[in-house]
Amino acid sequence: MEPSTFLKTIDHDRIVAAIGAAEGRSRGEIRVHVATGPVEDAQAAARADFERLGMTRTAERNGVLVLVAPASQTFAIVGDEAVDRVCGEGFWTSVVEAMRERFRAERFTEGIEEAVVRVGDVLARHFPRRPGEKDVNELPDAISRG
């Protein structure tokens, strides 16, 4: 699918709201990024975009990136080192599988929301909000592209 067509089919407001809700329960950060060109290796592209988008600069190293590459019909999810330590590869695989099911049914917004909710659950469990501590939104919640 052409990236511009994909971007028109997803509900940006719903996805941004899901990110805000997920981040509202934790100290973690979640971003969704849509690749505007073909991607050969989604995992490698996600890691490169993670770095390029400055996601390694969060205070607790607890950011997560959901990459969608519509031109290549693939996606990947990567977490920073603190998140990887607590959830492991099996968790990422289960989230990707849930996304894949929704994407096959062309329910792209639901697939991305599902990923954000599941990631938010893990972040809330391992990086919960601290009573009385003000949240700092370290990364934009908007869907990035590039």
Q: List per-residue pLDDT tens for the chain, 146 residues long.
A: 888 899 999 999 999 999 999 999 999 999 999 999 999 999 999 999 999 999 999 999 999 999 999 999 999 999 999 999 999 888 999 999 999 999 999 999 999 999 999 999 999 999 999 888 888 899 999 999 99
Buried b / exposed e along 73-86 (16+ C-beta atoms within 10 A): ebbbbbbbebbbee
Q: Is 49 part of a structural domain of the chain?
A: yes
Domains contained in the chain, number: 1
- Of the candidates 89, 135, 128, 95, which has an alpha carbon nearest to the alpha carbon of residue 111? 95
Read off the pTM. 0.94
Q: Is 8 part of a structural domain of the chain?
A: yes
Q: Is 133 part of a structural domain of the chain?
A: no
Q: Is 38 part of a structural domain of the chain?
A: yes
Q: Is 134 part of a structural domain of the chain?
A: no
Domain containing residue 117: CATH number: 3.10.310.50
Q: Is 135 part of a structural domain of the chain?
A: no
Domain that holds residue 78: 3-128+140-145
Tokens of 111: 């697939």
For residue 89, the model assigns a pLDDT of: 82
